[in-house]
Amino acid sequence: DAGVTQSPTHLIKTRGQQVTLRCSPISGHKSVSWYQQVLGQGPQFIFQYYEKEERGRGNFPDRFSARQFPNYSSELNVNALLLGDSALYLCASSLSLQGAGDQETQYFGPGTRLLVL
Amino acid sequence: QQQVKQSPQSLIVQKGGIPIINCAYENTAFDYFPWYQQFPGKGPALLIAIRPDVSEKKEGRFTISFNKSAKQFSLHIMDSQPGDSATYFCAARVFGNEKLTFGTGTRLTIIP
């Protein structure tokens, strides 16, 4: 079975630009979460979507937005890029919302490495 | 408090040894504690997870020990191998919330 896939794998942008990152969850998974991982640190939660609705938001500015499509894939958008947005952006999917036993396990994709110059 | 504190930052162990990575938390609402393994250029992969109603869980060579009263949990890797060299993250989650709060990571190196 295919795991979580993300595109692109790498991206270079300049300050002020906008970027869109894409994620396809594991087949059958309805929940998608986005995390930012700065080099040398643990992932930080950005958003969670379930059944196309936002279910959670981390402590990130409004420049960050996301959406989930009817096929459960998701996009993360970041506007007005700053140097500090350079990071590995991770997408994770799970079968359902947490509390459903093993179905709540989050599976991470390989990430998109964003470099802002 | 949502923080999860992880130590040590880095660890070097000889092959066959038992590296131990520790995590501590403050938020008593956390009810799910997974450990993730991450290799360079890859996303984190779930190793093992525990809930606070048990004190220990084993899966293969990986063991989580959980001390609810001390609000601490740790990962032990038995018979460590060079292929275990990776960064390990502990994490925690509050019941009813999908958000995982990660520790800062431990860079583990297993030397032959």
Q: How many whole angstroms from its chain centre is CA B26?
A: 16
- Tell me the torsion sign for CA atoms B84, A25, A97, A100: negative
Contact state of A56 with B98 under an 8 Å Cβ cutoff: yes
Contact B65/A at CB under 8 A: no
Residues of A engaging B, defined by a Cβ cutoff of 8 Å: 4, 31, 33, 35, 40-45, 48, 50, 55-56, 58, 90, 92, 94, 97-99, 104-111
Its domain, for residue A54, covers: 5-99+106-116
- Strand bridging mode A53-57 / A44-50: antiparallel
Residue A27 exposure: Cα atoms within 13 Å on the Cβ side? 2
Q: For the residues B89-105, what does the mean pLDDT come to?
A: 89
pLDDT grade, residue A117 (50/70/90)? very high
Backbone angles phi, psi at A102, to 5 degrees: -65, -20
- In Å, the largest CA–CA distance within chain A is 43
B43: chain A residues, CB-CB within 8 Å: 4, 90, 92, 108-111
The domains located in chain B, with CATH, are: 4-111 (2.60.40.10)
Contact state of A109 with B46 under an 8 Å Cβ cutoff: no
> What is the residue type of A2?
A
- Rounded CA separation B6/A8 (Å): 31
Contact state of B100 with A43 under an 8 Å Cβ cutoff: yes
B96: chain A residues, CB-CB within 8 Å: 98-99
Residue A23 near residue A75 (C-beta atoms within 8 A): yes
In chain A, the number of structural domains is 1
pLDDT at A101: 55
pLDDT at A102: 53
- Per-residue model confidence as pLDDT tens digits over B33-77: 999 999 998 899 999 999 989 999 999 999 999 999 999 999 999
> What percentage of chain A carries pLDDT values higher than 90?
79
B46: chain A residues, CB-CB within 8 Å: 105-107
pLDDT at B41: 85
- Per-residue model confidence as pLDDT tens digits over A40-80: 899 999 999 998 899 989 999 999 999 999 999 999 999 99
pLDDT at A38: 94
Q: For the residues A23-32, what does the mean pLDDT come to?
A: 94
pLDDT at B71: 96
- Tell me the torsion sign for CA atoms A11, A40, A5, A61: negative
Q: Which residues pair with A91 in a beta bridge?
A: A34
- CATH code, A28: 2.60.40.10
pLDDT at B46: 92
